[in-house]
Structure 1
Amino acid sequence: MPWSMKDYPASLKNLEKPVRKKAIDIANAMMDEDYEEGRAIPIATSKAKEWAENASTDEIDDFLTHDDETERDADPSSGSGPELMNKAEHVIKHKKGWAVKAEGAKRVSDIKDTKKEAIERAKEIAAHKGTEVIVHLADGSVQRKIKTGS
């Protein structure tokens, strides 16, 4: 079951808002990767706390810019809705590195430091969905397409 800031496991209720939001995002991503709920929640909580300890104030503020939204809240076109399951994953230049974004999504699903890391993550997501990866150059033009197996 995907969680949101309005509907999340009770074990997350006492976390500070940015940590809870990050834990929800991580747990949802882990569930997408077929982790069991009982494993995903404690791992996501630990990783979210670690993120909060190491994140700058600007990074936390930027993360909270969307207020109570998580990737799975109200807007189905945010990147996790079923209508995006048949859409290609794009690797695009991002101000913080390279991003993975489903075609038609409003928000990126992941940001990596290097293009290589972003391509690998996009391949994982696309293989899970049975779609392809479209790699872009920094100027936005298409560099290449990568077919993945389902």
Structure 2
Amino acid sequence: MPWNMKDYPASMKNFEPLLRKKMIDMANAMLANGYDDDQAIPIAISQAKEWFENATTKEKEEFEKEANPQKNDQHEQSGNPDLLDEDVEVFFKEDKWQVKTKKAERADQTFDTKAEAIKRAKEIAENKDTDVISYTKDGKKQS
């Protein structure tokens, strides 16, 4: 069920309003793309926190000016909820460490170090309740 700034999951109640607004917006977009509530909520919380930490003051100000999320907002259909059950892979390609969900078309993110990539992969996998599969630089699977 979609949410708004007055009716949202209890797990979002202790966050400041701008961060909560981002969480609701992200969660509603995921719901529109076929995610279940119990999948969308933790992912939206995690991703909104990351956005909030990394967004510039200008980005935050611009988002604050946008209309608050509504239950009947239209969201572009994208993504693939079928990927929620897939493990997250960390591998070296094109001089970068890549983090990608198995069967996804492209990497979620790239990093200069494997440690950074594994940290991000663990966050994604934890949100989806899946595993991380790591490879060496030459493509061998690690345990």
The TM-score normalised by the length of structure 1 is: 0.48
4+ long deviations beyond 2 Å: 39-44, 46-49
Q: Which amino acid aligns with 2:29?
A: P
- Secondary structure of the 1:2 match is helix
Q: Distance in 2 between matches of 1:82 and 1:134?
A: 20
Q: C-alpha offsets along residues 31-70 of structure 1, whole Å, 9 cap, x if unaligned? A: 362538xx958964x2897xxxxxxxxxxxxxxxxxxxxx
Partner residue, 1:2: 29
Q: C-alpha offsets along residues 99-142 of structure 1, whole Å, 9 cap, x if unaligned? A: 10000011000111100110011001001100000001112221
Q: Which has the higher contact order (CA 8 A, sep 6+)?
A: 2
- Secondary structure of the 2:130 match is coil
* Number of corresponding residues: 89
Q: Distance in 2 between matches of 1:119 and 1:137?
A: 12
Q: Distance in 2 between matches of 1:113 and 1:125?
A: 18
1:2 is displaced (CA, Å) by 3.3
Give 1:33-112 correspondences, 5 Å limit: 33=46, 35=48, 40=51, 44=55, 46=56, 80-112=79-111
Q: Distance in 2 between matches of 1:42 and 1:120?
A: 16
Contact 1:101 1:109 in 2 (8 A): yes
The TM-score normalised by the length of structure 2 is: 0.50
Alignment RMSD (CA, Å): 3.4
Larger Rg: 2
Contact 1:87 1:103 in 2 (8 A): yes
Contact 1:93 1:140 in 2 (8 A): yes
Q: Relative to structure 1, is the Cα distance of residues 119 and 47 closer, same or farther in structure 2, using a 3 angstrom cutoff?
A: farther
Give 1:114-125 correspondences, 5 Å limit: 114-125=113-124
